[in-house]
Amino acid sequence: GAGVSQSPSNKVTEKGKDVELRCDPISGHTALYWYRQSLGQGLEFLIYFQGNSAPDKSGLPSDRFSAERTGGSVSTLTIQRTQQEDSAVYLCASSLWNTEAFFGQGTRLTVV
Amino acid sequence: QKEVEQNSGPLSVPEGAIASLNCTYSDRVSQSFFWYRQYSGKSPELIMSIYSNGDKEDGRFTAQLNKASQYVSLLIRDSQPSDSATYLCAVNMDMGRRALTFGSGTRLQVQP
């Protein structure tokens, strides 16, 4: 596709439910990154993929968070048993190796 | 010490002036450096990349890199109110093994 695509754009979920967020990177981009951003705060790194492997997943805040990437393309970030503190904008970015990274429009997650 | 440091601001400049944004980083072997602009409620947008010491100009923007001093800066000439945003510095450390590391951003306000 022309840019990084994330879905859904908005997600409201009840506390305790599981959610899946999807990222479709720019075609051919080998690197894929997940960050999250709470209101008025900076970017918080979650996980980084190079191809299908994750050399850096040091930012995942708890074992409720997991992510996978298949076929070197689409990535899914899963949050199990959501908590209110998980409410944030989840941003995905992709790049060709370690060059310029481009962001998707984000998924706004609200846990009620 | 944060790995990528920026003054949070706000940095306030009058319309038409030069805005100077600075960033320092901790990893001496970092290879690539990026500036992103983020408007409120939007995702970060790449505006400049720089890989070697010196200046790189693109329109009203100039990125400056000094690897010996471990700083990178962004100059915005003829600042416009539409430049008012948060500017994020990002550094690629440990190529291939780590994700882009972001500073917390500098908020720029251009006064009409």
Q: Which residues of B32-58 are buried (b: 16+ CB within 10 A; e: fewer)?
A: bbbbbbbeeeebbebbbbbeeeeeeee
A48, A102, A105 member nearest B46 (Cβ)? A102
Per-residue confidence (pLDDT) for residue A73, from 0 to 100: 93
Q: Which amino acid is at B2?
A: K
* pLDDT tens-place string over residues B28-40: 888 899 999 999 9
Strands (E), A1-112: 5-7, 10-13, 19-24, 31-37, 44-50, 53-56, 65-69, 75-79, 88-95, 101-103, 107-111
Residue B96 corresponds to which tokens in the numbers above?
């291939």
* pLDDT tens-place string over residues A31-72: 999 999 999 899 999 999 999 998 888 899 999 999 999 888
Q: Is A1's pLDDT higher than 60?
A: no
| B99 CB within 8 Å of a chain A CB | yes
Give me the torsion for CA of A108, A94, A31, B92, rounded to 10°: -100
Q: Is A27's pLDDT higher than 80?
A: yes
Q: Which residues pair with A76 in a beta bridge?
A: A22, A68
B31, B96, B104 member nearest A55 (Cβ)? B96
Q: Is B27's pLDDT higher than 80?
A: yes
**What is the length of chain A?**
112
Identify all chain B residues contacting A103, using CB atoms and an 8 Å cutoff: 43-45
Contact A97 B96 (CB under 8 A): yes
| B29 CB within 8 Å of a chain A CB | no
* pLDDT tens-place string over residues B60-87: 999 999 999 999 999 999 999 999 999 9
Q: Which amino acid is at A23?
A: C
* pLDDT tens-place string over residues A89-112: 999 999 988 789 999 999 999 999
